[in-house]
Structure 1
Amino acid sequence: MFYHGRMRWDALSLDGQEPGLFGRPVTVDTPEFRGITFHEIRAKSIINKVPGASRVPFTWTINPYRGCSHACIYCLYGETPILMADGRTKPIRDLRVGDAIYGTEVKGSSRRYVVTEVLAHWKTVKPAYRIRLKDGTELIASGDHRFLSDLGWRYVTGTDQRPHLKLDSRLVGTGGFAAPPKNEADYRFGYLCGLLRGGVNLGSCASSPGHEALRRARFFLEDLGVPAERLIAWPDITTDEWRKGFLAGIFDAEGSCSGGVLRIPHRDPDTSHAITSSLERLGFDHTVERPHRRSLGVVRLPGGLAEHLRFFHLTDPAITRKRDIEGVALKSSAELGVASVEAIGIDVPMYDITTGTGDFIANGVVSHNCFARGTHRYLDFDTGQDFDSQIVVKVNAPELVRRELAAPRWAGEHIAMGTNVDCYQRAEGRYRLMPGIIEALRDHANPFSILTKGSLILRDLPLLEEAAERTEVGAAVSVGFVDKELWRLIEPGTPSPLKRLEVCATLVEHGIGCGVLMGPILPYLTDTPRQLDAAVRRIAEAGASSVSAIALHLRPGAREWFMRWLRECRPELVAPYERLYGRGAYVPKDYQRRISAKVAELAEKYGIGGRRNPRRLSAPSPPPAAPGPVAEQLPLL
């Protein structure tokens, strides 16, 4: 399949001056960075615009490093159910290369379901957005993920320069998938009863090992160990799980789905009543018909493909050929208009795939896949651990910054760095890209700021001072608390809070304004008046220009990790956290307001924001001329 659109990797190329040497990216392994491989690439652009829907106070960023080897951010939350070729669903995190799933193709005037293959699968961590549709469907994706709407492909977030989801944008598909049955004893009893009532001879299980329904029945019989007389008897009490199993069994025995019609024949009034009452209990509309053979009635499910898929997923019949939807047109009356798109406010583990059709079905809607596979193969990366261990280094970042700042169209807007990947990560100790970037910003008197957790920024303090003489320069560090023991438990592997505040103090002493993001504040752990006072006092002593309080967010991924830590280290707090957060990700608004007000009160008490050490900006001299064009190889994709 060919793709003619613009890829994120189109912005990366190799130096074409020496094809014998730079025919491939330069790959470097060094003893001091054990377990990490650097891939040195010449980029085509470096100043990137932030999506308009992002809740950040800046528009432009520079990222000289990428921790993600394929440079793709089209990702979905790991629990997102994907429609498999057998009609079932599987979380995207559990997919594997070679899995058969459903994609779509346009055939004639209709887009239709077709079976395709997973060609690549990977994991990364990205800022998350929640998309809610009017029918109740929810999806969690990165801002650059794309879904198919009735007006074409749309990004989750964006600006006027690219098509993105808006309120009432209508997605294409059937709507959210139903959860599968629990496959417990009640379900198994119900399934076997359905098979028997449908006329299946369970004695043939052993002689027909290849038959999916009989194979399942044999397993259930061995597991339950009860006689057939008990299985065919109607239970005194029918649970929802029994009803799901019964419908799956009777469908495997007698049912069919073809020509857009799902039918379940029945042989007697008791069976008919069991079918219809189970459908009603599970929320399915149905009609009962009596064809020309008076001894056989038929229950039909209206509602089209959306209801048929809900039936398959909720009941899980064993015979996959009866669940086949290949070639069926994507037509649905589901209310798939966008009700809301909101930033969740936290980075979460996300996953994406490459498929043979270029798309797949994510929780009932058509989702664009990522085309990073070609570049991934080109770089000889695998699709798993490379995302943590393969670092792409834009070795020409400083010269690109200088060139783009000199372009007539550049308006001198503020540029934020460290917002995606820490520009002072360990790789910067080897490649030293930031000095050249800061020099270019200094020479063009372009305002900028840097967010970091480390101390390597102090290496470039002289350059920052020079830049601050000519333009606005700012920095920020994150410090949620100052308790050393808690830091060792919660944030192992990061610089200590006091070390980060030392960085803040040093920057301030040299006239570089530095704010502090006071987060995460941990309820019942770091939110007592004494702890808040201690943290804000230390922040004030460091000379921070501002402080902003952020309470702990417990979105999927972070929630599981943190609650597991609580159970192991502070079990007495598990119940209070469950009461405080409930099923949500955020603390109640009154808690956040209370904490923010207390921190603001302490900030005023200790004079944060009241002391200024402004530099007098000198008039900038003309910047050095931008270097001439560099010969570049064609883009990798």
Structure 2
Amino acid sequence: MRWDGQLVTAESPAALPGLAKMSNLVRSVQTPEFAGITFHEVLAKSALSRVPSQSAMPFEWTINPYRGCSHACTYCFARKTHSYLGLNTGLDFDSQLVVKINAGEVLRRELAKQSWKHEQVAMGTNTDPYQRAEGRYKLMPEIIRALADSGTPFSILTKGTLLARDLPLLHAVAKDVEVGMGISLAMTDAGLAHRVEPGTPTPRARLDLIAKLSDAGLQCSVMAMPILPWLTDSEEALDDLCASVAAAGATSLTAGALHLRPGAREWYMQWLAKEYPQLVGRYRRLYDGGTYASKDYRRWLAARVGAAKRRHGLQSGARLRHINKPQLDTARGRQTGGPKAAALPEVGQATLF
């Protein structure tokens, strides 16, 4: 085998028809270490995406260096976005990944504009910035540096243990800008996790990551979303989740019931019919053809989660807190003297991946 053809600088094979029409497509490539996955490398025109004004999100900007996600979570709400590229929301979302190879460079140009107001930027709101592809492309360090150098606060939400690679960098930049950190973990049952989100690090690996964050002085919140009706919502399952994340060093936890948006709904229900056919009818009644579980169920779940959190001393909300509260240097428009907390979203699964 000619390994030279697998380098990031190598020429590409033919792209999928839908992607071949993209004017910014550089190449499509497959590599042995990512069997079954095709990377479609593009030159992004913009790295920052504005959140619609009518959104309830507690931030105004996002960065998504990847489209599609090899974590392959059956419930991922972002699956619908792949249909915009002429790709399907099932296997294509898991295996046809779009990579914005110039994201850091473009971001620096955008942040240098006089019109930039240094509003908070959230990452991990669509697909995971620390999915396995990041090990190949290494886009996040330059993105983090660009944000920090410009004095822009940011938050990261991830299931990817590759985040540990960047802990020294995050610790360093958190002395100058607000940094929020969240780990997505909604179950401790390793067998179930492997079935429902087969490409993610194990629950144990994510608990170890929380401990590494704590050891590095970077406290984090846990986003326990989605909680799966009749699969991860028992008192025992929620109590074990809260006990485990508290023991790992997390200080807060936010939980919410599964959302079934178009694109994700079809894929998740197909998975459910295969793995737990006895639950299909119950899900149909609970969701009644819509996106959200019934209000009664959501109230019941909130009460059960709240009780588990209180038993294990977990707060609500999602913030990273660090050593010293920074003072604002108005001359430079950035902060000094150590970081304060950057908020992570608390508005449900729509902010996850």
Provide the TM-score with structure 1 as the length reference.
0.42
Distance 1:394 1:580 in 2: 39
1:607, distance to aligned residue in structure 2 (A) = 1.8
1:464, distance to aligned residue in structure 2 (A) = 0.3
- Partner amino acid, structure 2, of 1:510: A
Give the 3 Å change call, closer, same or farther, for CA 386–545 of structure 1 in structure 2.
same
SS of alignment partner, residue 250 of structure 2: coil
Distance 1:397 1:562 in 2: 31
Task: Report whether the alignment pairs 1:457 with 2:163.
Answer: yes
Distance 2:243 2:53 in 1: 36
Tell me which of 527, 547, 572 is aligned to 2:253: 547
Distance 1:482 1:503 in 2: 14
Distance 2:34 2:82 in 1: 26
Partner of 2:61: 60
Output one character per residue of 1:418-475: Cα deviation in whole Å (capped at 9) or x when no partner. 2222211222112211111111222223210111111111101111001111111112
Distance 1:598 1:386 in 2: 36
Partner of 1:406: 112
Task: Report whether the alignment pairs 1:446 with 2:162.
Answer: no
Give the 3 Å change call, closer, same or farther, for CA 612–605 of structure 1 in structure 2.
farther
- Partner amino acid, structure 2, of 1:525: L
Distance 1:539 1:594 in 2: 22
Matches within 5 A, 1:10-409: 25-67=26-68, 346-347=77-78, 349=80, 389-409=95-115
Give the 3 Å change call, closer, same or farther, for CA 523–428 of structure 1 in structure 2.
closer
SS of alignment partner, residue 44 of structure 1: coil
Distance 1:44 1:561 in 2: 31
Distance 2:223 2:320 in 1: 18
Tell me which of 203, 206, 209 is aligned to 1:500: 206
Which structure carries more helix by proportion?
Answer: 2
Give the 3 Å change call, closer, same or farther, for CA 570–41 of structure 1 in structure 2.
closer
- Partner amino acid, structure 1, of 2:151: A
**What is the RMSD computed on CA atoms of the aligned residues?**
3.7
1:37, distance to aligned residue in structure 2 (A) = 3.8
Give the 3 Å change call, closer, same or farther, for CA 568–400 of structure 1 in structure 2.
closer
The total of aligned residue pairs comes to 304
Partner of 1:76: none
Tell me which of 616, 620, 631 is aligned to 2:324: 616
Partner of 2:6: none
1:606, distance to aligned residue in structure 2 (A) = 1.7
Output one character per residue of 1:18-75: Cα deviation in whole Å (capped at 9) or x when no partner. xxxxxx825544332334443444333212211223332211011223349xxxxxxx
Output one character per residue of 1:597-619: Cα deviation in whole Å (capped at 9) or x when no partner. 22223223322239985321556
Do 1:43 and 1:396's aligned partners in 2 also have CA atoms closer than 8 Å?
yes
Partner of 1:522: 228
Give the 3 Å change call, closer, same or farther, for CA 13–446 of structure 1 in structure 2.
farther
- Partner amino acid, structure 2, of 1:538: S
Distance 1:386 1:583 in 2: 24
Partner of 2:243: 537
Partner of 2:338: none
1:562, distance to aligned residue in structure 2 (A) = 4.7
1:558, distance to aligned residue in structure 2 (A) = 4.6
Give the 3 Å change call, closer, same or farther, for CA 582–406 of structure 1 in structure 2.
closer
Partner of 2:195: 489
Do 2:41 and 2:101's aligned partners in 1 also have CA atoms closer than 8 Å?
yes
Provide the TM-score with structure 2 as the length reference.
0.72
Output one character per residue of 1:233-274: Cα deviation in whole Å (capped at 9) or x when no partner. xxxxxxxxxxxxxxxxxxxxxxxxxxxxxxxxxxxxxxxxxx
Do 1:443 and 1:622's aligned partners in 2 also have CA atoms closer than 8 Å?
no
Distance 1:567 1:387 in 2: 20
Distance 1:26 1:60 in 2: 28
Give the 3 Å change call, closer, same or farther, for CA 464–48 of structure 1 in structure 2.
same
Partner of 1:475: 181
1:477, distance to aligned residue in structure 2 (A) = 2.1
SS of alignment partner, residue 43 of structure 1: coil
- Percent identity between the two aligned chains: 50
Unaligned runs of 5+ in 2: 1-18, 334-353
- Partner amino acid, structure 1, of 2:64: N
1:349, distance to aligned residue in structure 2 (A) = 4.4
SS of alignment partner, residue 43 of structure 2: strand
Unaligned runs of 5+ in 1: 1-8, 15-23, 69-124, 128-344, 353-369, 374-380, 624-637
SS of alignment partner, residue 520 of structure 1: strand
Distance 2:78 2:23 in 1: 29
Partner of 1:121: none
Give the 3 Å change call, closer, same or farther, for CA 603–389 of structure 1 in structure 2.
closer
SS of alignment partner, residue 171 of structure 2: helix
Output one character per residue of 1:264-291: Cα deviation in whole Å (capped at 9) or x when no partner. xxxxxxxxxxxxxxxxxxxxxxxxxxxx
Distance 2:91 2:185 in 1: 29
1:563, distance to aligned residue in structure 2 (A) = 4.8
Task: Report whether the alignment pairs 1:433 with 2:139.
Answer: yes
Do 1:61 and 1:416's aligned partners in 2 also have CA atoms closer than 8 Å?
yes
Which structure carries more strand by proportion?
Answer: 1
Distance 1:391 1:582 in 2: 32
Partner of 2:16: none
Task: Report whether the alignment pairs 1:424 with 2:94.
Answer: no
Do 1:501 and 1:542's aligned partners in 2 also have CA atoms closer than 8 Å?
yes
Distance 1:594 1:504 in 2: 28
Task: Report whether the alignment pairs 1:605 with 2:311.
Answer: yes
Do 2:214 and 2:250's aligned partners in 1 also have CA atoms closer than 8 Å?
yes
Do 1:553 and 1:585's aligned partners in 2 also have CA atoms closer than 8 Å?
yes
